């Protein structure tokens, strides 16, 4: 049950990706076959893409599939490897603290504002930043705990 936030992010990615593909396909059909553009389609696809990207960040971090330079960690074992992995996660935490704070500011500034095409609250779009940031910070602390206290044989 510890990874419920990962499962939620996976569902958000699935739904968002499906929506982006479907909306884009419908928009293409309407634009080039029916000769009528849907004014809300691009905006909705863009907002779904924002949620897709920010939810995908958490999933890739959890799976260890995020961009990294692993030449050093592949050559190290034991305590030095644990130190490098921990430092990497500390830097991730610092970065996402900044992203979370910035996201909270965007959410607070957007209260009472609505998107131009869909007329939905802008804070629904901007909530992706602080929610992603918060969950990545939590996941990074879990990774640090696992590296330091959960033995996996070679310090992975």
> Which domain covers residue 125, as residue numbers?
4-149
Residue 156 is assigned to a structural domain of this protein: no
pLDDT at residue 152, rounded to an integer: 66
Number of domains in the chain: 1
Residue 155 is assigned to a structural domain of this protein: no
Q: Which residues contact 120 (CB under 8 A, 6 or more apart)?
A: 114
pLDDT at residue 136, rounded to an integer: 92
Contact criterion met (CB below 8 Å) for 37 and 27: yes
CA–CA separation, 92 and 70 (whole Å): 15
Residue 59 is assigned to a structural domain of this protein: yes
CA–CA separation, 40 and 5 (whole Å): 30
The tens place of each residue's pLDDT in the chain, 156 residues long, gives 468 888 889 999 999 999 999 999 999 999 899 888 888 999 999 999 999 999 999 899 888 777 777 777 777 788 888 888 889 899 999 999 999 999 999 999 999 999 988 999 999 999 999 999 999 999 999 989 988 888 665 444
pLDDT at residue 15, rounded to an integer: 95
Residue 117 is assigned to a structural domain of this protein: yes
pLDDT at residue 155, rounded to an integer: 44
pTM: 0.81
> For residue 48, what are the CA distances in angstroms to 21, 23, 24, 151?
10, 10, 11, 39
Nearest to 58 by CA among 16, 25, 109: 16
pLDDT at residue 1, rounded to an integer: 47
> For residue 146, what are the CA distances in angstroms to 84, 85, 89, 97?
14, 10, 11, 21
Residue 133 is assigned to a structural domain of this protein: yes
């Amino acid at each position: 049950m510890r990874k419920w936030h990962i499962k939620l992010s996976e569902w958000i990615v699935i739904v968002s990706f499906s929506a982006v593909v479907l909306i884009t396909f419908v928009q293409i059909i309407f634009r080039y076959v029916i000769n009528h553009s849907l004014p809300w389609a691009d905006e909705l696809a863009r907002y779904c893409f924002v949620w897709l990207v920010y939810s995908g960040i958490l999933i890739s971090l959890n799976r260890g599939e995020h961009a990294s330079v692993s030449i050093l960690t592949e050559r190290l074992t034991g305590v030095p490897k644990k130190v490098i992995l921990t430092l990497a996660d500390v830097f991730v935490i610092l970065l996402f603290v900044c992203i979370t704070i910035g996201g909270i500011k965007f959410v607070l500034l957007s209260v009472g504002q609505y998107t131009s095409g869909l007329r939905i609250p802008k804070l629904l779009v901007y909530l992706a930043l602080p929610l992603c940031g918060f969950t990545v910070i939590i996941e990074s602390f879990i990774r640090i705990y696992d590296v330091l206290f959960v033995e996996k044989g070679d310090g992975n």
